[in-house]
Structure 1
Amino acid sequence: MERTWKWSAVAAASAVALGLAGAQSAAQAAQDEQHEHHEARQVKHVLLISFDGLHQQDVARCVAGNTCPNLALLAQSGVTYTNAHTPGLSDSFPGLAALVTGGSPKTAGLFYDVSYDRTLYAPSDTQCQGKQGWNVVFDETTGIDAENGGALVHLDGGGAFNPQAIPNAKINGVCTPVYPHNYIKTNTVFEVVKQHVRGARTAWADKHAWGYDWVNGPSGHGVDDLARTEINSIDPATQSDYTDVYTHTEKFDNLHVEALVNQIDGKDSTGKTNAPVPTLFGTNFQTLSVAQKAPVAKGGGYLDASFTPGPQVADAIAYLDKSLGRIVDELKQRNLYSSTLVIVTAKHGQSPTDHTKLVKNGDTLTALLEANNYLDPNGNFGQANTKTGNLNDGSGLVGTGFVQTDDVGLVWLRDPSQLNAVVKTLKDNLSCNAPGICADGPQAYILYGQSVKAKFGDPSLGRTPDIVVQPNPGVIYTSSKKKDEEHGGNAPDDSHLGLVVSFPGLHHAGRTNPDYVLTTQVAPTILRALDVDPDLLHSVAAEGTRALPGLGLGREE
């Protein structure tokens, strides 16, 4: 039997439902209902939007300064969570996985878009007879345009997977390709909604056309309308990709705005085919992230430790808010606003916002490991060494281990028996002086052994890094002059995100909630809103993830 979840938490109605009619009079119940000054409404659609890079401080500042009026209006009819955080790693893959699986990397198995798995075989090893251990790269090169190092000339990545980017695994004795949807270890909210909401349709749009195939979940079919848009494709108008400057990124993000508008209008993301309005749909925006990364000397990033936006960030926030307003206006014009739960948040933040904390000494972590022979001293490991020189063309080395660095360091050792020796080397070189790794401050740490196992899973199973290095906040393991901020780790600016949940007539509308919450709590909240059991998400059941508090949902608090 289908059920309908009512979002106006009227105390008397609840009392009657519980057989406690004597606890409150009918007259009092009517007064309570009038006090809520709305009638119960059913959530029929959920719209999830990620403004990648959006900090809670950005939300507070722009609402107070009236520079994001559309987001402020959503906040007035919703709850703003002032203490929302990512669940431990803040790259795009684990960040989005938190939102759509309800799980951390420990259960979802996604640590970065470029990672490593000791159980996998090379793409060329179609019989799974060679060495194991593959540097998994699910990014712009996952589309067939990148085959043999080809130019990314198509917005849709070429319209298919790059077979050279797809590793293999031996499953029940059979050598089987591992596409991104096979790589994720848990189901997604898109799959659950499709399976348990009658007539449901799902949609999503993201920055990589084929790398984000994993949102489909293990079934491979969780998203009915997955827009294939590639941010690193070459724009014919400029002969550059869409990440060169934030105003160019706006052009890419506009594609996602158009996709949402088309879907709200009863079409697919292309606008070419009629389709039901999705039950669950959404997208991510990259403009703010690109503006945050841009060098402060060129107007990027923030002006001070108080999150005062520089010119590019200020413009980016204004653009995002205008886009949000257009989407909400379309919902209203199609009479869908009153039945749509809107969630605005981010996959990750960006670090450091305080430019005085910025340290760019280069990738000192990888250099230290190479210098001590824990990795090949010439960088001949994984996809860093292909026979052709082309990234992710399937000819990389196998069984080499891997290091992923941004403002965090994830280390998969080629020889796990060296763990203690590697940790000692790292601890002996914590300072920011060469060859130090800049992890000598009170907010820095090194996780390994039981500490990694407890937080991220058992490295011996193949997917979890052996070591996680969180350097001092402000450290970026790069010497690039093109960016002054990054993400991926667990520095405060990475992990403390904006989160607004809005629905007309919401029980606690207009309030802020200071509770410490995780972005993993978004997924069970989506299912609660659609009256679906959140424990149908495997990560939610495994990690005990609760829906967000303070929304008047009743059972989540």
Structure 2
Amino acid sequence: MENTTRWSRLGAVVGAGAVALAGMQSTAYAGDMKDVKHVLLISFDGLHEQDVARCIGSNACPNLALLAKSGVTYTNAHTPHLSDSFPGLTALVTGGSPKSAGLFYDVSYDRTLYAPLDSHCKGTQGWNVVFDETTGIDGENGGALVHLDGGGAFNPQAIPYAKVNGVCTPVYPHNYIKTNTVFEVIKENIHGSRTAWADKHAWGYDWVNGPSGKGVDDLARTEINSIDPKTGTYYLDTYTHTEVFDNIHVQALINEIDGLDSTGKTSAPVPTMFGTNFQTLSVAQKSPVADQGGYLDADFTPGPQVAAAITYLDNSLGRVVQELKQRNLYASTLIIVTAKHGQSPTDHSKLVKNGDTLTKLLEANNYLDPNGNFGQNNTKTGNLNDGTGLSGTGMVQTDDVGLIWLRDQSQKDAVVKTLQANLSCNAPGICADGPQAYILTGDRLADWFGTPSNGRTPDIIVQPNPGVIYTSSTAKDEEHGGNAPDDSHLGLVVSFPGIRHAGRTDDHYVFTTQVAPTILSALDVDPHLLHAVQLEGTRRLPGLGLDEK
């Protein structure tokens, strides 16, 4: 499947050395999965490995259990050091971590970009990039998110600019990702192929198209933060209401299996690569314990909401698999069930919500504006993505992790010293004094995430004690984004009727980045056509008959 012209283009992006290495690899992968014609990738956001083991062991998820009997269950799968939805999905569809793909969070910072209102690139560089629900036109000027499709277009106030070959150019989400995706590689290398994906934000997830902007033929424009017209409330208000949103994605998959597009309105070939994201479990996990959300103990015993959410997800999985069987597609479809991220803490005795002490400490010491006037904290409407935030200010992004882009990078050593002097949970401490906490900077930061000199990598990353969420909100008792054990240790089941010695568990330590090259190998496409696979040396998942030669 090698194409000389394509390899030449790729060399311009990732370097001749990497291309030469890739050219030495075999592109023919016979064996257990030689009959794969379609790949279905499903992300049950929040799904821990322990959830998979417990629900299969108790027969609480019979449909997932049946897939496991026809496949391999990976018991030691992990996110690549960050667990926000952006790097989580990037891992699955590019084979890379934020180091190569450049996506750290849906709300991040890039020192090379100009503000959305600076269309001539004449102002200060450094912009707080927000590619979330407000990326759709409904979010313009802080508008209500009243349409499932986000309003049907991009919000121009959400799109920053960059100088490209001296020309001031808008940066859409697909321009923002630095590497290509499996969708692009499949379309370029399998004649007549079709791709489809559905996710939680209608326009912020445009980046799955990859730099070409054309990787996904059928990208469902569905916005979970929109208002359900039937109830007048948000799909995220309860986990049962989130099921209504996720059902839209279930129906999209069924439509695609039936030879239609995701809307069910137009005939289309069954996708070669397709899939979706589910939010119900994540919402149930975050729900306060007082409202019967989350888990009952440190052993991942699900509370009522989580138990019901897992049942819902398993039933949805069963509907999709049954449709594959009815259309005689099951025997030719590789099914991968995993998650973009986990959720932390499942053991609520470890929960600490002292407020955003990290940001307060940085402000108090004048490393960021002491009044909080940085990034899009200061806009004319008071809403993100009205285009009027402050540029060149640095920023901090916190959840159960802290990503710090300094206003003045020369202050890094002083900032680290200040953080190290305030590690305890006592005010003004940042609650990072335990054995699993760390402050990431210097060579270790560069090794994991690239050097901050590239403009996008944070100067400092703070991983607090597991269980710490930098908020005082009473609306949620769990969160994700960082590298705490409950964030990063995920469920992963790879199923196909032709897998030899099916029904096994594999305890190799693997990263979710290994899913992308596995997908391409199963479709008989060289995984080294993925830029991130070349740059990071990502290997396929073991034990599937596709091991590196």
TM-score under structure 1 normalisation?
0.93
Match of 1:190 in 2: 183
1:75 paired residue among 54, 68, 75: 68
Asked if the contact 1:91–1:112 (Cα under 8 Å) also holds between the matched residues in 2, the reply is yes
Corresponding residue for 2:384? 391
| CA shift digits 1:369-397 (9 cap, x unpaired) | 01111111111111111022121110000
Instruction: Give the 3-state SS of the residue equivalent to 2:234 in structure 1.
Output: coil
Q: 1:41 Cα deviation (Å)?
A: 5.2
Quote the residue 2:281 is aligned against: 288
Which amino acid letter does the alignment assign opposite residue 430 of structure 1?
A: L
Aligned-partner Cα distance in 2 for 1:442–1:6: 45
Alignment partner of 1:483 is 2:476: yes
Whether the 8 Å CA contact 2:197–2:220 is kept in 1: the answer is: yes
Structure index of larger Rg: 1
Whether the 8 Å contact between 1:4 and 1:42 is mirrored in structure 2 is: no
Mapped pair 1:473 → 2:495:
no
How many residues end up aligned between the 2 structures? 525
Residue in 2 that maps onto 1:315 = 308
Please give the alpha-carbon distance, in whole angstroms, between the structure 1 residues aligned to 2:295 and 2:330.
Answer: 34
Match of 1:22 in 2: none
Q: List per-residue Cα deviations over 1:37-94 (Å, max 9, x = no partner).
A: xxx7510000000000000000000000000000000000000000000011000000
Give the AA of the match of 1:80.
T
- In the alignment, the residues of structure 2 paired with residue 4 and residue 462 of structure 1 have an alpha-carbon distance, to the nearest angstrom, of 39
CA–CA separation in structure 2 for the residues paired with 1:272 and 1:235: 21
Answer yes or no: is 1:53 the counterpart of 2:46: yes
- The whole-number CA distance in structure 2 between the counterparts of 1:524 and 1:117 is 28
Amino acid at match of 1:86: T
* CA–CA distance in structure 2, aligned partners of residues 151 and 379 of structure 1: 25
Deviations 1:527-556 (A, max 9, x none): 000000000000001100000000122x43
| Equivalent residue letter for 1:112 | Y
Equivalent residue letter for 1:542: L
**Structure 2 residue matching 1:498: 3-state secondary structure:** strand
Provide the residue aligned with 2:114 in structure 1.
121
Q: Deviations over 1:7-54 (max 9, x none)?
A: 43xxxxxxxxxxxxxxxxxxxxxxxxxxxxxxx751000000000000
Equivalent in 215, 226, 231 of residue 208 of structure 2 = 215
Task: State the partner residue of 1:349.
Answer: 342
Tell me what 2:98 maps to.
105
The CA deviation at 1:297 is 1.0
Hey, what's the Cα distance between the residues in 2 that align with 1:551 and 1:295? 40
Following the alignment from structure 1 to structure 2, what is the Cα–Cα distance between the partners of residues 475 and 285?
25
Match of 2:195 in 1: 202
- The amino acid of 1:216's aligned partner reads N
- The residue that corresponds to 1:240 in the other structure is 233
Q: Which residue of 2 aligns with 1:249?
A: 242
Residue equivalent to 1:548: 541
* Equivalent-residue separation in structure 1 for 2:212 and 2:103 (angstroms): 17
Q: Distance in 1 between matches of 2:181 and 2:350?
A: 37
| Distance in 2 between residues matched to 1:239 and 1:454, nearest whole Å | 47
Q: Do the aligned partners of 1:295 and 1:484 also contact (CA within 8 Å) in 2?
A: yes
The answer to whether the 8 A contact 1:508-1:551 is kept is: no
Q: Given the alignment of the two structures, is residue 378 of structure 1 paired with residue 371 of structure 2, yes or no?
A: yes
Alpha-carbon distance in structure 2 between the residues aligned to 1:164 and 1:243: 24
CA contact (8 A) 1:349 1:493 kept: yes
Contact 1:134–1:399 (8 Å) recurs in 2: yes
* Residue identity matched to 2:269: P
**Whole-Å separation in 2 of the counterparts to 1:283 and 1:236:** 23
Which residue does the alignment assign to 1:410?
Answer: 403
Partner of 1:95: 88
Segments of 5+ residues of structure 1 without an aligned counterpart are 9-39
Correspondence 1:502 to 2:495: yes
- 1:130 aligns to what SS in structure 2? coil
Instruction: Within 5 Å, give how 1:10-25 maps onto structure 2.
Output: none
- How far is 1:5 from its partner? 4.7
Say which SS state the counterpart of residue 305 (structure 2) adopts. Answer: helix
Amino acid at match of 1:431: S
Kept in 2: contact 1:508–1:550 (CA 8 A)? no
Query: Is the partner of 1:251 in helix, strand or coil?
Result: helix
CA–CA distance in 2 between the matches of 1:358 and 1:346?
22
Whether the 8 Å CA contact 1:5–1:42 is kept in 2: the answer is no
Structure 2 CA distance, aligned partners of 1:273 and 1:113? 32
Does residue 366 (structure 1) correspond to residue 366 (structure 2)? The answer is no
Misfit runs of 4+, over 2 Å: 1-8
**Structure 1 residues 78 and 60, CA, compared in 2 at 3 Å: closer, same or farther?**
same
Distance 1:499 1:449 in 2: 32
In 1, the alpha carbon distance for the partners of 2:477 and 2:113 equals 35
Distance of 1:455 and 1:69 partners within structure 2: 38
Deviations along 1:443-462, whole A, 9 cap, x unmatched? 00001122211110110110
What residue in structure 2 maps to residue 21 of structure 1? none
% identical equivalent positions: 82
- Aligned match for 1:528, one of 505, 521, 524: 521
Q: How far apart are the structure 1 equivalents of 2:86 and 2:31? A: 31
Structure 1 equivalent of residue 290 of structure 2: 297
Tell me, in whole angstroms, the C-alpha distance in 1 between the residues paired with 2:80 and 2:119: 35
CA displacement, residues 146-168 of structure 1 (integer Å, 9 cap, x when unaligned): 11111111000000000000000
Listed one character per residue, the Cα deviations across residues 227-258 of structure 1 (whole Å, up to 9, x for unaligned) are 00000001122222111110000000000000
Q: Name the CA distance, whole Å, in 1 between partners of 2:548 and 2:60.
A: 33
Deviations 1:314-352 (A, max 9, x none): 000000000000000000000000000000000000000
Which secondary structure does the structure 1 equivalent of 2:146 belong to?
coil
Give deviations 1:449-503, integer Å, cap 9, x for gaps.
2221111011011000000000000000000101000000000000000000000
Q: Is the 8 A contact 2:380 2:386 kept in 1?
A: no
Picking from 321, 325, 328, the partner of 1:328 is 321
Structure 2: which amino acid aligns with 1:472?
Answer: N
Structure 1: how far apart are the matches of 2:391 and 2:232?
34
Q: Tell me if the contact between 1:408 and 1:489 (Cα under 8 Å) persists in the aligned partners.
A: yes
Q: Distance in 1 between matches of 2:313 and 2:44?
A: 8
What is the aligned counterpart of 1:138 among 131, 134, 148?
A: 131
The match for 2:17 is none
* SS across alignment from 1:83: strand
**Residues 7 and 42 of structure 1 are in contact (CA less than 8 Å); yes or no, is this contact kept in structure 2?**
no
Aligned runs of 1:447-466 on 2, under 5 Å?
447-466=440-459
AA partner of residue 187 (structure 2) = K
- Alignment partner of 1:401 is 2:394: yes
2:157 to 161, 164, 177: 164
CA distance in 1: counterparts of 2:229 and 2:36, whole angstroms: 41
State the AA in 1 paired with 2:241: H
Instruction: State which of 220, 233, 250 in structure 2 corresponds to 1:227.
Output: 220
Per-residue deviation, residues 421-449 of structure 1 (Å, max 9, x unmatched): 11111000000000000000000000112
SS in 1 for 2:186: helix
Find the counterpart in structure 2 of residue 174 from structure 1.
167
Paired amino acid for 2:96: G
- Structure 2 counterpart of 1:268, one-letter code: D
